[in-house]
Amino acid sequence: MIDSLKKKLKKIKVLALDVDGVLTNGKINVDERGKEIKVFDVHDGFGLAMIRRAGFKTAIISARSAGAVTARARDLKIDQVFQGAYPKTAAFEQLLRVLKVSEDQVCFMGDDIPDLIIFRRVGVAVAVKNANAEVKKHVDYVTKRNGGDGAVREIVELILKTQNKWKELLKHYHKG
């Protein structure tokens, strides 16, 4: 890992995520009644539970609004949820105030053009493997996994390992 990225990752206290294309594969499924259905990856969800257990805060900043996101965020005990946040700047500034953190203490994961405004401000900007090509030019790290398929878990493990919290956290799960 590049030393400059490692240095930035050591400062992270908050993991903030876009939803469509990051926590999901980016596809929007609509049933015959017009109800939106989203599919979330269980490994990403467990990764979010792990990072919270390690003392980090989590957040969602999404330009769209969906009941499925509200339900999933509640299930995962996400600390701050901002839906209908377009542009995402006001939500990001509120996140900083509420969680009492600086910009360089936030890692934000995104996948498309509306995320660029946040990428310029955070400590670590992450794009998923299947993100828009223009977006990938403006990040510190591109995941090996696609959005909705373990990309969030990948960055969670990278943060925890870089901050030397991974091994200690695993001890909790090895207890019988």
What's the whole-number mean pLDDT along residues 123-137? 98
What's the whole-number mean pLDDT along residues 17-22? 98
Q: What percent of the chain has pLDDT over 90?
A: 91
Determine, yes or no, domain membership for 150.
yes
pLDDT higher than 90, residue 172: no
Determine, yes or no, domain membership for 45.
yes
Residue 101's CATH number? 3.40.50.1000
Q: Of all helices (H) and strands (E), which one includes residue 80?
A: strand 80-82
Overall number of domains in the chain: 1
What tens digit of pLDDT does each residue of 28-44 get? 999 999 888 999 999 99
What's the whole-number mean pLDDT along residues 69-79? 97
The b-or-e profile of 126-149 (16+ CB within 10 A means b, else e) is bbbbbbbeebeeebbbbbebbbbb
- DSSP string of 114-158? GGHHHHTTSSEEEE-TTS-HHHHTT-SEE-SSPTTTTHHHHHHHH
Determine, yes or no, domain membership for 175.
no
Single out the residue of 130, 125, 101, 129 nearest to residue 115, CA to CA: 125
In whole angstroms, give the CA distance from residue 62 to residue 87.
9
In whole angstroms, give the CA distance from residue 145 to residue 120.
22
Residues 6+ apart with CB under 8 A from 73: 60, 81
What domain range is 108 assigned to?
3-170
pLDDT higher than 80, residue 1: no
Determine, yes or no, domain membership for 176.
no
Q: Which two tokens stand for residue 92?
A: 């990001």
What's the whole-number mean pLDDT along residues 142-165? 98
Q: Which two tokens stand for residue 22?
A: 């990051």
pTM for this model (two decimals): 0.96
What's the whole-number mean pLDDT along residues 55-77? 96
What's the whole-number mean pLDDT along residues 132-152? 98
Determine, yes or no, domain membership for 95.
yes
The whole-chain average pLDDT of the chain stands at 96
